[in-house]
Structure 1
Amino acid sequence: MVIPVHDANPARRVPWVTYALIVANVVVFLRTPGVAGSLTGDTGLAQLCRLESFLDQWAAVPRELIHDRMSRLVPTGQVGVGPSGPGCVVAPPDYDKSPPLSVLTAMFLHGGWAHLIGNMLFLWVFGDNVEDRLGKARYLLFYGLCGYAATYGFALADPDSPTPLIGASGAVAGVLGAYLVLYPRARVWALVPFLILLPLRLPAWSVLGLWFVLQAVFSYGAGVSGAGTVAYLAHVVGFAVGMLCAWPLRRGTPPPPDPPRPLWGPQARPGPTWPGRPRRPGQGW
């Protein structure tokens, strides 16, 4: 899978909403119980129980979303000893939880550094242009809509799942879908794994198209083992919703600027003009 690092498509205005979303995600992640363990490798049972309790309270649970009610038993964050050995204690919840509102809070939670950095990198590279095209208020609503659509789409496919859903992936996927519709020919610098990570400048349609195809394949269970730990179907739904929302705006969207001249080759710089010999357009050294 290619890793985008920069696009040659400057925005006209400062993308304050995109910056604010990135900061909010990082701050919430740093305040999530268990983050220190995910960085240092220290993941004891007590830490895992606290994290499980936190996520169950603030994450979106498909079973709760579909039935619009909380679970009867939830992790308390305490460690207990049962017939099968030590484990996390469960009990009736001592808090109120709104399943629809949990979709919003879940969009700012992440399960680890790789999860957070991956989402924020894609949002950093592609979010500024989508925000520039939609406007700040409409962009923020669009971001939330894609996140909600992705979460509920996944919940409808697995309505009895008790596993919490977390992450900004669904909303970010919507941003990617909108970017593909609005700027398919924009050039994106990406790291392509080929023995080593090669930096290449590729059209956005190839980078984002490949990303979407991989998510669609993985959502059907094909690919690496353990793919079930990632809600690939939510990515697919968010991407499709982003494309649909951006489709009416594609005709009025100005094209990205032409890529800069290459550093070498006949188009790198104009060649010299010899006496009595006119220079042909595009002639190099």
Structure 2
Amino acid sequence: MFIPLYDHNPRAHIRRPYVTWALIALNAAIFLLVEAGGMARAVNAAALAHGAVPILFSAPTAETYASLVTYAFLHGDFWHLAGNMLFLWIFGDNVEDALGHLRYLIFYFLCAAVGALVHIVMLPQSNVPVIGASGAVAGIVAAYLMLHPHVRVWVLVLARIPVPVPAYWFLGAWIAFQIYMVLQPVGETVAWWSHIGGLAAGAMLVMIMRRPGVPLFARRPSR
């Protein structure tokens, strides 16, 4: 098991990643207000009301379309939330730096929406709500990998050994795992297709939404 801890990748264009911080705060606040405390009935009601339910898109309403964004702010449990927010904290600031605050926010929502749509297309008859920021976070992972593949990322190996590795090793392995899992007949407990959709959206969008002059696949000295 590999857990990202830290990347030493100074920002070049913004002083503080306000949008990344706001997204983390909003996700945490919604979890605490709506989903925490073991209230299973409240969690299920929120997922059904605001999660993306594929079968509902056969006759969509305004609320159904809104769920392409709202689903990304709901999480099933603390670890689901913590995993997504950890990736967002470590990698989101540099993507925000490369895109700018407003374009980064748009990028985040588009990756979330595309992630949900890919899941819906692949499993159109599912009545299981998709929730979680994983589609949007997958987009950030793809963008970070295309922007900063050679930056050193400290990862925790086997939950106890911190090791610095190039971003392309860790994030490349994470992406390969998503692709592997989407090919496995493991049911609908994890919306792997939303991860794939988010990855594809992030890779495409960063090419057109990054600031002028920001290079792709930048090389920098190892740290």
List aligned pairs for 1:52-71, cutoff 5 A. 52-69=44-61
Alpha-carbon separation, structure 1, partners of 2:93 and 2:29 = 20
TM-score (normalised: structure 1): 0.72
183-192 or 110-119: which moved more? 183-192
1:201 aligned onto 2:190: no
Contact 2:52 2:71 in 1 (8 A): yes
1:101: Cα distance to partner? 0.4
Alpha-carbon separation, structure 2, partners of 1:25 and 1:163 = 21
List runs of 5+ in structure 2 lacking aligned partners: none
2:191 to 216, 231, 241: 231
Quote the residue 2:202 is aligned against: 242
Q: CA RMSD in A?
A: 2.0
Q: Which has the higher helix share?
A: 2
Alpha-carbon separation, structure 1, partners of 2:20 and 2:125 = 34
Quote the residue 2:37 is aligned against: 36
Contact 2:98 2:211 in 1 (8 A): no
TM-score (normalised: structure 2): 0.91
1:183 to 148, 154, 161: 148
Alpha-carbon separation, structure 1, partners of 2:219 and 2:91 = 13
Q: Structure 1 pair 10/107, CA: closer, same or farther in 2 (3 Å)?
A: same
1:117: Cα distance to partner? 0.3
Q: Percent identity?
A: 41
164-173 or 243-252: which moved more? 243-252
Quote the residue 1:74 is aligned against: none
Alpha-carbon separation, structure 2, partners of 1:108 and 1:137 = 19
Q: Structure 1 pair 124/256, CA: closer, same or farther in 2 (3 Å)?
A: farther
Alpha-carbon separation, structure 1, partners of 2:212 and 2:145 = 13
Residue identity opposite 1:99 in structure 2: T
1:65: Cα distance to partner? 2.4
Count of equivalent residues: 218
Q: Structure 1 pair 160/228, CA: closer, same or farther in 2 (3 Å)?
A: closer
Alpha-carbon separation, structure 2, partners of 1:234 and 1:247 = 20
Contact 2:99 2:211 in 1 (8 A): no
Residue identity opposite 1:178 in structure 2: A
**Which structure has more RCO (C-alpha within 8 Å, separation ≥ 6)?**
2
Residue identity opposite 2:191 in structure 1: A
Question: The residue matched to 1:229 in structure 2 has which SS?
Answer: coil
Quote the residue 1:51 is aligned against: 43
Q: Which has the higher strand share?
A: 1
